């Protein structure tokens, strides 16, 4: 089986910044302090009024092309993972393809996943590259702020708008994709849903994101450790072999609980939510980019996504010599 | 490389039926007759007010499970191709997974493609099954009628609401997937777009589907023959080897022009648009299901999708003994 590598990651943040304080949120100071303390999120990047997922996706992809010295016409696949597209028809990948001049031979597709979208996108792209060779870009781009109900503090203070563009290829460098595994439980569809966001008539409810926080927490605390065990068992590994576990940056409380349950040391679970918030499927690649130079060849890194769907999974990566 | 087969297809139609006549459309009779004559579409299935892509997807998937005697817990992957989801968050695949009791180990994902979505979905699923083995279901489900502007006759009379559920697996039977190839041109993003359908603020325009008909026609007449030539050349085949070409059922005029340009006989290009309309990515599997028993083991069938994105591609299939 051909080895596939994550070579590099380009990033983009929403161009505005919202503080999680009483003044910015128009809420009581005690409520804001309590929420910042529990979530660990102080401020978040937010897309401007006329800034969309396609804009963040293009900026991140352009950054990646520049950093890696890649010309768009050499890219064989462009996969955009988003749940907040500009339009239902066509996909964001079509906009990125057209704006940045990718070739007609490029495989172009939007996929819809939330916080497990980096793991699932890596699975799809890895399978693609194993069949075709060459290189492909996985974009993770969302602007959840446009779907948050402004008075629903439990979601508003959490989500940040961002995009990443991840280069995957058969060229050794960065991280080798060792193994991926994903899971789903559609019986949890209603635990995280954006009412009135597409075709279904949800007129009896205010449009926007509804999250069953305790439900999602219980799900994550059960499903994530099981998924980690199964993913590692598939390749005869255990947590003791892993240098870092990069969790989807949901918030401080949930990551803390997971780290405790899995007996992970603080230095094994680096976090970046405090000034990024939960950037949905971009959160893992944002963190992976930050940690890339802290890792030595041979180090194993487990990335773990979980959330809406319900959908969850893990991708085991090995840092290799660049 | 492991061979992957399209074993069977389940179908579902929108539960209402709209005639393309003066009374149903509230338009002048001469206009309706002219449009029916050009498109070849007399009537179309239309989803009821509270009938959504997830409902059609579940019905088609249930039909497939019943017809093939498959239990949901044996299915390893569930891919839903739609551009008209119930919600942006989560995807339709999550709803189908939950309602029909698919297992937690199932790979579950929505992809967003229009009229090339059967070819592209087949590519993604084929790569998946080559990596994992087992079986997967590709659902193609759309309810474009909910996005059509009622007074825009050029689109309203064309689109039908339907879903298909296609079983793919490593088990020999039905059609062998010989080769797939897809193409994209995002510079044509605006040639077919649903304004006001997701996050972008298009308030200066009435919400709904906008189609540049002549632009799409010119694109198809150029791109489709080229794609066919390239797809067949990849596997050292030519059109002379092909028993049937199953075009995406866009409408009579465009299919007629393509058949003429490619010098295909009428019996080589069966059509079913007259009482289904253009059912987006479900149109090819609906036609494939109809033609399955007309074909002999060894017959080669080329399925060809093209449309919104712009996105187009071809999948070469070989009928095998069941």
Report the chain A residue with the minimal C-alpha distance to residue B112. Answer: A110
Nearest to A90 among B108, B111, B192 (CB): B192
Percent of chain B with pLDDT over 70: 100
- Co-location of A198 and A51 in the same domain: no
Domain that holds residue A19: 5-171
Show residues of chain B in contact with A184, CB under 8 Å.
78, 93-94, 97, 102, 104, 106-108
- Co-location of B11 and B70 in the same domain: yes
Residue A204 annotated to the active site: no
CB contact under 8 Å between B186 and A83, yes or no, is no
- Co-location of A161 and A198 in the same domain: no
- Co-location of A97 and A215 in the same domain: no
CB contact under 8 Å between A199 and B85, yes or no, is yes
For residue A90, is the peptide bond before it cis, meaning its omega torsion is within 30 degrees of 0? yes
Per-residue burial over B66-87, b if 16 or more Cβ lie within 10 Å, else e, is: eebebebeebbbbbbbbbbbbb
- Co-location of A161 and A259 in the same domain: no
User: Who contacts A45 (Cβ-Cβ below 8 Å, separation ≥6)?
Assistant: A13, A14, A15, A16, A17, A160, A161, A162, A276, A277, A279
pLDDT of residue A225: 97
CB contact under 8 Å between A114 and B309, yes or no, is no
- The angle formed by the CA atoms of residues A140, A119 and B112, to the nearest 5 degrees, is 55
pLDDT of residue B289: 98
Give the end of a domain, one of A154, A171, A188: A171
B81: nearest Cα among A88, A321, A134: A88
CA distance B51 to chain A (A): 9
**Best interface-test mutation with A: which of B3, B85, B88 has the largest number of A CBs within 10 A?**
B88
pLDDT of residue B193: 97
Distances (CA, A) of B98 to A188, A189, B105: 7, 7, 13
- Co-location of A57 and A150 in the same domain: yes
CB contact under 8 Å between B184 and A102, yes or no, is yes
Show residues of chain A in contact with B199, CB under 8 Å.
52-53, 84-86, 143, 146-147
pLDDT of residue B268: 96
pLDDT of residue B172: 97
B263-309: pLDDT as tens digits: 999 999 999 999 999 999 999 999 999 999 999 999 999 999 999 99
- Co-location of B182 and B86 in the same domain: no
- Whole-number Å distance between alpha carbons of B259 and B268: 9
Q: What is the mean pLDDT of residues B40-59?
A: 97
Q: What is the mean pLDDT of residues B173-185?
A: 98
Give the end of a domain, one of A140, A171, A202: A171
CB contact under 8 Å between A184 and B94, yes or no, is yes
Q: What is the CATH number of the domain that holds B299?
A: 3.40.47.10
Give the end of a domain, one of A145, A171, A197: A171
Q: What is the mean pLDDT of residues B10-34?
A: 92
Q: What is the mean pLDDT of residues B153-180?
A: 96
User: Who contacts B136 (Cβ-Cβ below 8 Å, separation ≥6)?
Assistant: B75, B76, B77, B78, B79, B107, B125, B128, B129, B167, B168, B169
In total, how many domains does chain B have?
Answer: 2
Show residues of chain A in contact with B131, CB under 8 Å.
127, 130
Does position B31 have pLDDT exceeding 90, yes or no? no
CB contact under 8 Å between B199 and A84, yes or no, is yes
- Co-location of A306 and A207 in the same domain: yes
- Co-location of B47 and B159 in the same domain: yes
CA distance A310 to chain B (A): 7
Q: Which residues of B are catalytic?
A: 115, 248, 278
- Co-location of A303 and A236 in the same domain: yes
Residues facing residue B79 across a β-bridge: B109, B138
A225-266: pLDDT as tens digits: 999 999 999 999 999 999 999 999 999 999 999 999 999 999
Model confidence at B116, pLDDT cuts 50, 70, 90, reads very high
Does position B28 have pLDDT exceeding 90, yes or no? no
Residue A106 annotated to the active site: no
Mean pLDDT for chain B overall: 96
Report the chain B residue with the minimal C-alpha distance to residue A123. Answer: B128
One digit per residue, the tens of pLDDT, for chain A of length 322 reads 899 999 999 999 999 999 999 888 888 888 888 888 999 999 999 999 999 999 999 999 999 999 999 999 999 999 999 999 999 999 999 999 999 999 999 999 999 999 999 999 999 999 999 999 999 999 999 999 999 998 898 899 999 999 999 999 999 999 999 999 999 999 999 999 999 999 999 988 999 999 999 999 999 999 999 999 999 999 999 999 999 999 999 999 999 999 999 999 999 999 999 999 999 999 999 999 999 999 999 999 999 999 999 999 999 999 999 8
Model confidence at B254, pLDDT cuts 50, 70, 90, reads very high
Does position B32 have pLDDT exceeding 90, yes or no? no
pLDDT of residue B322: 87
- Co-location of B105 and B195 in the same domain: no
- Whole-number Å distance between alpha carbons of A188 and A218: 12
Positive or negative, the CA dihedral A30, A31, A35, A36 is: negative
Phi/psi of residue A13, each to 5°?
-115, 150
- Co-location of A109 and A191 in the same domain: no
């Amino acid at each position: 089986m051909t080895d596939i590598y994550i070579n590099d990651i380009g990033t983009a943040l929403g161009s505005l910044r919202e503080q999680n304080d009483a003044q910015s949120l128009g809420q009581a100071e005690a409520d804001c302090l309590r929420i910042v303390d529990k979530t660990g999120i102080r401020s978040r990047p937010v897309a401007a009024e006329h800034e969309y997922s396609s804009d963040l996706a293009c900026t991140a992809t352009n950054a990646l092309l520049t950093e890696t010295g890649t010309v768009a016409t050499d890219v064989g696949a462009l996969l955009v993972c988003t749940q907040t597209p500009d339009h239902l028809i066509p996909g964001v990948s079509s906009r990125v393809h057209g704006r940045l001049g990718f070739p007609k031979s490029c495989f172009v597709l939007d996929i819809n996943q939330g916080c497990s979208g980096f793991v699932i996108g890596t699975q799809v792209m890895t399978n693609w590259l194993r069949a075709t060779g060459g290189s492909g870009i996985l974009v993770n781009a969302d602007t959840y702020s446009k779907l948050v109900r402004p008075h629903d503090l439990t979601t508003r203070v959490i989500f940040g708008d961002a995009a990443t563009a991840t280069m995957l290829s058969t060229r050794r460098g960065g991280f080798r994709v060792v193994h991926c595994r994903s899971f789903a439980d559609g019986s949890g569809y209603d635990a995280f849903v954006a009412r009135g966001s597409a075709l279904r008539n949800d007129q009896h409810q205010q449009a926007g994101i509804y999250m069953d926080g305790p439900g999602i927490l219980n799900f994550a605390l059960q499903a994530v450790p099981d998924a980690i065990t199964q993913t590692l068992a598939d390749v005869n590994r255990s947590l003791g072999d892993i240098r870092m576990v990069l969790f989807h940056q949901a918030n401080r409380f949930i990551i803390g609980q997971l780290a405790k349950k899995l007996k992970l040391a603080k230095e094994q679970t680096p976090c970046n939510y405090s000034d990024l918030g939960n950037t949905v499927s971009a959160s893992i690649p944002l963190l992976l980019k930050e940690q890339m130079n802290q890792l030595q060849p041979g180090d194993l890194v487990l990335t773990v996504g979980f959330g809406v769907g319900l959908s969850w999974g893990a991708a085991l990566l090995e840092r290799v010599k660049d």
